[in-house]
Each structure stands twice: as structure tokens, then as C-alpha cells.
Amino acid sequence: MADPVSKKRKTSSSTSTTNSSNTNIRPYTLTIALPSTLLTTAPNPLLKAHLASHLARISALHNVDEIVLYNPTPTPTPSTSSTTEEQDQLPHILTYLTTAPYLRKHLFPKHPHLRHVGHLPHLSLPTHPRPGPPAPGSVRSALVVESLPGGKLALDAGLEQQVVVKSAVGAGVGTTVLLRMGADGKAAIVPRRECGVYSGYAVRGAEGLAAVFTECVWEGGYDLTVGVCCGDGGGVPLDEAVSGDAGAGVPGFRHLLVAVGDLEGAARGDEGLVGMGVGGARELFDLWVDPLPGCGCEGENGGVRVEEALFAALVGLRRVLVEKGGM
């Protein structure tokens, strides 16, 4: 297995995930890493938007906390403006979709990237409630729209009137927060990791595979990493890797990373990996797996598209998440 100290630890600007007494708090995080150029595989703007939406839906279905979009060609190469545009479009759509619909008017000006978002399905997150009176105890996304005297904040929570809360959080105008609604119509800001429901994913970019690890936001870094390959990439069948004696050897974790795409190709020329003392993509990962061995399609990467490999891998890893997450 890869060395968890030299390849996964971040020394500063980390985010704590201290346990709380709330039994609904999930004791681990799930991060997926995807190539930032993925939209180049779709032939037209509408299909590009649908591909981004498909990735967002997969992430929401599997309670993904973080999506990292890595540059698969970190070595400077001649690039077309269309490729750069698509690299910008993917995080734009992903972030738009994970934002509550009633807050988008504040956060997303009209932009060509978002031309087709009206055709895309909603994520239907628990924190994106439908119109109507809030249920007591429910959690909903809100946006700080004004800072009031006395340490109070005025928030747009998608209700008929703004919600006013007193908070020591110090959230500035334009900050999104989560509110827990009370039976008396009042509300209180609740930390995202303690809200008890899935509230969407964060999106960050990474200049290459090395930056996926070195810029990890979680305290201690990723302590279990899974590289996903298909076809002749040499991956162990996923069901074998997580079951029987092999599965018993999978360690417990607090922060899981699942990376898909042409990982070996992305590793070539990544100077950051050289600095980490890594000779190839496989050395980065604790598990190197094929989620769809013997699939019925032919072509590059065993005929499996990145989004298909991602979905199959996350389904295949559910047992690991349940049995080893938070250990």
C-alpha cells in the first residue's frame, strides 16, 4: 500500500473533522477526483451540460463531500481555447447544481456555461426544500444578505420573508450557511458537518494528480485512496479487493479518495509527483481496482467511460464505506 505519511499528509490550512455527540454525523468523508477535461468527450453544448449534470447526480446519490477536478496534462502543452472553456464550464455547472435553486439568483449571473441548465434534473438535496412552510427540525441552505447590529444576520432561506438569526459564526455577506428550522418559526445556523443530512459537495481544482493530495483540505489528508482503472490497466477486480480475506485487509479510514480517469497518463510529466518521490500513479493509491472487469464494450479504457467507471466504483465500494468508514 502507498505510504500514508509521505503521500497524503497536508501540514497546514486543514479542516478539522472532530466527532460530535450528534449520532447522525457521518464519521468519514468521501472525495472523488475527476479529469477537468471530461466535458471534451461530449460533442455539443447540451450534451456537455448533461454530462456535468450526470456527474453531479452520481455525487449526490453517493453522498460525495468533495469533487476534485485535476488537470490530466499538468506539463505545459499547446491547448485550444475550447478545452480551457470546458475546464471552466465543468466546475461552474457542478457548483450551480449543488446550490439551492432559490439562492442561484444571488450567486450566478447569466453566463454561456449555464445556457442549458434549465434542461437538467435537480439534485433534490435535503437542504434544497421545495416551496412551502418549513418543517420543524428541517435543515435548509441560506445566504447571508445583510449584517445587522447586535451580531445578527439577515438571510435568504427561500421563504416569503428573510430569516434573522443571531450568530457568533461571523459569516459575511454572500456566505452560504445551513439553517435548522425551529417549531416556533425561528432558526439557528448549524455547522455543515453536524447538520445530520447530506448537504451537497464542494468543488476544487488541482493542477495535477500531486495537487489532489498535497492540497487536501481534510486534517491529516486522505487515509484511504482508491485508483480506478478499466481494461488493461492492471487493476484488481473491485469485488475481489473489498471482499473475503482481501477485504478484511482494507484499513479503516476517515477520509476516502476515489480517483478516476487516465491516472497513469496524468502522472506522466507531473513534476509534483517527482517531488513526492512517486514514480507512477499506482504508487499513489492503496487500492488499484477495476470496477467492471470483462465489460461488454470495447474501446479506450476497456470501453468504459469515466462517469461509468465512477458510478460502478462507488457502488462497489459501498460495503467498504459502511464497514470501514470512520474507523
Is the same domain home to 301 and 157? no
The CATH number of residue 107's host domain is 3.40.1280.10
Question: Does position 299 have pLDDT exceeding 90, yes or no?
Answer: no
CA gap 275, 176 in Å, rounded: 37
The DSSP annotation for 149-214 comes to: TTTEEEEE-SSSS-EEEE-SS-PPTT-EEEEEEPTTS-EEE--GGGSSS----EEEEESSHHHHHH
Is there a single domain that holds both residue 189 and residue 158? yes
Whichever domain contains 177, its CATH number is 2.40.50.140
Q: Rg of the chain over CA atoms, in angstroms?
A: 21
189 lies in the same domain as 210: no
Please determine, for residue 185, whether its predicted confidence score (pLDDT) is greater than 90.
no
pTM, rounded to two decimals: 0.89
- Write the DSSP assignment of 85-119 as a string of letters: HHHHHHHHHHHHHTS-GGGHHHH----GGGTTGGG
Q: Do the Cβ atoms of 140 and 127 come closer than 8 Å? A: yes
Domain of residue 83: give its range. Answer: 31-124+200-324
Q: Torsion-angle region of residue 313: left (phi > 0), alpha (psi -120 to 50) or beta?
A: alpha
Confidence label for 207 from pLDDT (cuts 50, 70 and 90)? very high
Q: What mean pLDDT do residues 156-164 have?
A: 93
Residue of higher predicted confidence among 169 and 17: 169
Residue 178 sits in the same domain as residue 230? no
Q: Look at the chain and report how many structural domains it folds into.
A: 2
Return the minimum-mean-pLDDT range out of 214-218, 265-269, 275-279, 298-302. Answer: 298-302
**Beta strand pairing status for 176-181 and 236-237?**
unpaired
Same domain, 310 and 212: yes
Give residue 80's pLDDT band: very low, low, confident or very high (50, 70, 90). low
Is the pLDDT higher at 6 or at 114?
Answer: 114
More confident residue, 226 or 147: 226
The pLDDT of residue 5 is 35
pLDDT given at position 150: 87
Residue 74 has pLDDT above 90, yes or no: no
**What would the pLDDT profile of 94-140 be if each residue is shown by its tens digit?**
999 999 999 999 999 999 999 999 999 999 999 999 888 899 999 99
Residue 296, pLDDT score: 82
Phi and psi based region of residue 179 (left: phi greater than 0; alpha: psi -120 to 50; beta: remaining): beta
Choose between 84 and 290: higher pLDDT: 290
Whether residue 19 is predicted with pLDDT greater than 60 in this model: the reply is no
Mean pLDDT of the residues in the chain: 87
